[in-house]
Amino acid sequence: MWLMAKKGRKSGSSLVKTKAGHKVRSQSEAKIDDWLFSQRFNFVYEPIFWMKGRKIEPDWVIMPSDVPSVTKPIIIEYWGLSYSKQQMKNVSYWVENAKEGYEARRNRKESFYGEQESYDYIGITPEDLKNLKQWLPQQLKKLGVDLPIPQSQSQKTSAKSPHNKGWSVRKSNKSGGLGQKEVESILGLTPPKVGNQRNQDIRKRLPDGWNYFPQK
């Protein structure tokens, strides 16, 4: 039921386009997507793949790369209805009614993520989102990921719009990291380049189960 609600709560015309070119479901998701883009992570929005025989549809996956140094994929979920007790005082009635089922679904997914040794996981709530630029770097640092751009410079960097579009691909050529188009190719989002040895090398660094199933 909640999977259907997630897919249906935004029509194509009401999706929010991010700096990475993704069409996300809310301004909150856009804030997260834009921050990941500003930090030069190689990430995919809403991929579909199998993990331990189970179909998984996380909000984001940060892919392994050299710069930033990410040794294994990091799953990120935004739990947009996981409000704090204080926030729940001001929510709509349908959020109150849905809260119990939503949290049960969150607990099931997080328990499953916690059992996986080949992936790391970060869950974000609306409360975390208030201080995202400080909170998320702290969580990534716990996983051994150091940010390539000091936070004092990230806003200035993201403001340079002429360099934003497609910069992750250009940067990957210099750093040895994986660009967004290559990520999409690996997961089957775009046709793979014939004879692309780079993609084949990166694919070997991914855990088993990265079989992409396109949405119908």
pLDDT in tens, 7-35: 444 555 579 999 999 999 999 999 999 99
- Looking at the predicted structure, is the pLDDT value of residue 196 above 60? no
Q: What are the extents of the domains in the chain?
A: 2-203
Most confident option among 48-57, 104-113, 142-151, 156-165:
104-113
pLDDT in tens, 46-90: 998 888 888 889 999 999 988 888 999 999 999 999 999 888 988
Strands 49-51 and 54-56: antiparallel
Tell me the percentage of the chain whose pLDDT exceeds 90.
47
Of residues 126 and 168, which shows the higher confidence score? 126
pTM of the full structure: 0.67
- Looking at the predicted structure, is the pLDDT value of residue 96 above 70? yes
Tell me, what's the pLDDT at 50? 85
Question: Rounded mean pLDDT of 114-138?
Answer: 95
Q: Mean pLDDT for the chain?
A: 74
Tell me, what's the pLDDT at 82? 94
